[in-house]
Amino acid sequence: MSASLQQAVDTLAELGSPDDLRADAADGAAPDRQPGVNLHIHLPPNFSAFASVTQAVELAAEQGVRILAASNYYDYRVYADFADAARRHGVLPLFALEIISTDPRLAGDGIRVNDPNNPGRMYICGKGITGFAPELTGRAAELVGIIRRNDAARLAEMTAKLEAHFADAGYVTGLDAEAVIGTIVARHGSPRDAVVLQERHVAQAFQEALWARVPASDRPAALSALLPAGLPAGDADDPVTVQGQLRAQLLKAGKPAFAPETFLETPQAYELICALGGIPCYPTLADGAGEACPFERTPQELIAHLRERRIHAAELIPVRNAPEVLTRYVRAFREAGLIVVAGTEHNTQTLLPLVPTCAGGAPVPEEIAEIFYEGACVVAAHQFCRAHGEPGYVDDAGRLNADYENDQQRIAAFASLGRAIAKRYFQAHPG
């Protein structure tokens, strides 16, 4: 592991020994005020609302979010910069990841999980990872390699198909996958091999290329020629809307530039999260796409599915959810002994507030915000323990820490330790 990434992993470990922090926890140590928490954002070179890591951390500090987790896809070198910026601004950094996986049985049965459009597709996160490195080894390296090779081949095919579609309409851009990666490197200064190309990157690059070649007065006609269903009136000048329509009308299944996905199966994604030292965590959509997906039809059904898969944590992105729906799912999760956390993703160009809010900007109910804070503290304690080489909330196989009689006792102990860690971190790094 490089020095900078080792420093990132050591960010919490350097606060003291586990015995020291457990003694603080036993004395009730905690931050003077409950900090804002956000356990899911994407940082560039992932597609992100943020121009830079520094911008994300500065905004978090300004908005009172002092426990913040990055949750990037498939490359973690940016976490060194994230940890460094977080120290400077008094933000406690947690490290996470997100994986897109598939469950063939659910796909075969047509069951939608937490993707409203693709049966069997399951997003799964890992919280509190410590096993990232410039060159992963062993099974983690093998699995990340499979993901990245499959993604690269698919996005190269989609980019070529999209360029052919643009050319057929008379708008040659000259873009291929390597050129799209070049736009990301130029925008964010990222190492080229750290870029994991996403559909949103491709749509953005083609929208920007079209804007560079077509005057504003001619763009409605160009978009009419490119988009089978056209564009809503008055939206031809909005880059974000155009990018979304390029994805929806040209890159999705059955569309001109679609290429089929090849994902890890969900058990392999789970294995990768554990190999990187994380807590497997299920991102819950709930009413985020209108009617709940069948896998999530009720909180109780979802809890049973998660238990079956040995997933002991759940996440929500509250901006998708009505407050009453959020409350129903969070209460049920917590009563069932699941860790519960929340985030904002920031995986579009819309620069939302970093403090999670519900749909329509409604505040997260105070009771639920307390549960999200507790969950963040559990993750911090897990990350701290794993950085010290001690057992965390789960082990490398996803087995629960056996030092506790039940889930509620385990959550309480790790949350108490996490609050003591946060207090000591904020004292050491006031920002």
Q: What pLDDT does 3 receive?
A: 53
Burial 171-192 (b: 16+ CB within 10 A, else e): bebebebeebbebbeebbebee
Q: Look at residues 388, 400, 419 and name the one whose alpha carbon lies nearest to residue 16.
A: 388
Specify whether the CB–CB gap between 98 and 74 falls below 8 A: no
pLDDT (tens place) for every residue of the chain, 431 residues total: 455 888 999 999 999 999 999 999 999 999 999 999 999 999 999 999 999 999 999 999 999 999 999 999 988 999 999 999 999 999 999 999 999 999 999 999 999 999 998 899 999 999 999 998 666 788 999 999 999 999 999 999 999 999 999 999 999 999 999 999 999 999 999 999 899 999 999 999 999 999 999 999 999 999 999 999 988 766 778 899 999 999 999 998 899 999 998 999 999 999 999 999 999 999 999 999 888 899 999 999 999 999 999 999 999 999 999 999 999 999 999 999 999 999 999 998 899 999 999 999 999 999 999 999 999 999 999 999 999 999 999 999 999 999 999 999 999 999 999 999 999 999 999 98
CA–CA separation, 117 and 293 (whole Å):
9
Give the phi and the psi of residue 268 in degrees, each rounded to 5.
-70, -40
Which residue shows structure tokens 């979802």?
A: 302
Max CA separation in the chain (angstroms): 70
Q: What pLDDT does 134 receive?
A: 63
**Which residue ranges does the chain devote to CATH 3.20.20.140?**
3-132+276-428
Q: Look at residues 272, 11, 7, 15 and name the one whose alpha carbon lies nearest to residue 140.
A: 272
Give the phi and the psi of residue 90 in degrees, each rounded to 5.
70, 30
First to last CA, the chain: 27
Which residues sit opposite 41 in a β-bridge? 70, 345
Exposed / middle / buried, residue 7 (Cβ in 10 Å: 0-12, 13-18, 19+) = middle
Contact residues for 311 (Cβ-Cβ < 8 A; gap 6+): 124, 270, 280, 281, 282
Which CATH number is associated with domain 3-132+276-428? Answer: 3.20.20.140
CA–CA separation, 9 and 202 (whole Å):
32
- Extract the tokens encoding 399: 């087995």
Q: What pLDDT does 1 receive?
A: 47
Which residues sit opposite 345 in a β-bridge? 41
Q: What pLDDT does 253 receive?
A: 84
